[in-house]
């Protein structure tokens, strides 16, 4: 089964609101990444957080990692219509990257 | 300059046919991958190659045969296509294999090839 599971599966918010997506995983990891996929496009790397880090920021993105709970969250602040996309967490599984099922975010203008 | 490019973007074909998807990366990466994304957006790894050598083969039917003529190219050939092969196939590359210390493990994806089998 998938290493990472995102929650919620879908999220609809108004422009300007914050969006929070959660990811849970099953086995211990070295790193966790978040990717974005716009409709009909490939995935684009957003941010990486290492297992010894608890929080990381990049622009309007904030990622947290709780290795004791095997979970991570991605917060997008002051969302924009252009943030509408699917967001995936990804964890390391040996020589491969394993993706969760994704959260579909819809930001209404 | 597209970093990871794959062709064709769309492929519509009949059951039983054979088709190929090509992928090229100009990032100088050592590792390339094929992922399959189904209609529910689940993304599953199929193969990975490191310096032209097959590293991962994720219990994919042997109708799928990857070929890496050099480390910048990874093609996917599919024989005897079945309805269940309909999906979006993504090529990706990374600088190194795995997530060892010092590697970010960041994947660079192509735009995808949507295969529809009728």
Quick: pLDDT tens for A54-107: 999 999 999 999 999 999 999 999 999 999 999 999 998 777 888 988 999 999
Q: Rounded to an integer, what distance in angstroms lies between the CA atom of residue A27 and that of residue A3?
A: 7
Q: Rounded to an integer, what distance in angstroms lies between the CA atom of residue A46 and that of residue B4?
A: 17
Q: Provide the pLDDT for residue B95.
A: 87
A12, A62, A74 from A17: Cα distances, Å: 10, 14, 14
Q: Rounded to an integer, what distance in angstroms lies between the CA atom of residue B62 and that of residue B64?
A: 5
Q: Rounded to an integer, what distance in angstroms lies between the CA atom of residue B110 and that of residue A89?
A: 18
Nearest chain A alpha carbon to B96: A95
Q: Provide the pLDDT for residue A34.
A: 96
Q: Provide the pLDDT for residue A2.
A: 44
The position carrying tokens 């599953």 is B44
pLDDT digits (tens, 9 = 90+) for A32-56: 999 999 999 999 999 999 999 999 9
Q: Any chain A CB within 8 A of the CB of B41?
A: yes
A3, A8, B44, B49, B116 from A31: Cα distances, Å: 13, 22, 18, 21, 35
Mark which residues 11-40 of B lie under 8 Å from A by CB. 33, 35, 40
Q: Provide the pLDDT for residue A96.
A: 81
Residue B49: exposure state from Cβ atoms within 10 A (0-12, 13-18, ≥19) = buried
pLDDT (tens, 9 = 90+) of chain B, 118 residues, equals 679 999 999 999 999 999 999 999 999 999 999 999 999 999 999 999 998 889 888 878 999 999 999 999 999 999 999 999 999 999 999 987 766 555 677 899 999 999 999 9
Bond from prior residue into A32 cis (ω within 30 degrees of 0): no
Q: Rounded to an integer, what distance in angstroms lies between the CA atom of residue B111 and that of residue A41?
A: 5
Nearest to A6 by CA among A28, A31, A30, A32: A32
For the CA atoms of B34, B24, B55, A6, the dihedral, rounded to the nearest 10 degrees, stands at -40
pLDDT digits (tens, 9 = 90+) for B38-63: 999 999 999 999 988 898 888 789 99
Q: Provide the pLDDT for residue B103.
A: 64
Interface test with B, best of A27, A53, A97 (most B CBs within 10 A): A97
How far off is chain B from A59, nearest CA to CA, in Å? Answer: 18
Q: Provide the pLDDT for residue B56.
A: 83
């Amino acid at each position: 089964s998938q290493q990472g599971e995102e929650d919620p599966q879908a999220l609809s918010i108004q422009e300007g609101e914050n969006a929070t997506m959660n990811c849970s995983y099953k086995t211990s990891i070295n790193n966790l990444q978040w990717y974005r996929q716009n409709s009909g496009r490939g995935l684009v790397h957003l941010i990486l957080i290492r297992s010894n880090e608890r929080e990381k920021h990049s622009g309007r993105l904030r990622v947290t990692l709780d290795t004791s709970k095997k979970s991570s969250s991605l917060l997008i602040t002051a969302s924009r219509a252009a943030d509408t996309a699917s967001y995936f967490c990804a964890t390391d599984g040996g020589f491969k990257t394993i993706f969760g099922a994704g959260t579909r975010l819809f930001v209404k203008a | 300059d597209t970093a990871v490019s794959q062709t064709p973007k769309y492929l519509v074909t009949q059951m039983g046919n054979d088709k190929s998807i090509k992928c090229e990366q100009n990032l100088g990466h050592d590792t390339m991958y094929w992922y399959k994304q189904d209609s529910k957006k689940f993304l599953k790894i199929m193969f990975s190659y490191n310096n032209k050598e097959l590293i991962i083969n994720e219990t994919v039917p042997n109708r799928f045969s990857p070929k890496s003529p050099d480390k910048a190219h990874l093609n996917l050939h599919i024989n005897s296509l079945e309805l269940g092969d309909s999906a979006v196939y993504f090529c990706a590359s990374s600088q190194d294999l795995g997530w060892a210390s010092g590697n970010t493990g960041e994947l660079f994806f192509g735009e995808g090839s949507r295969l529809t089998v009728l």
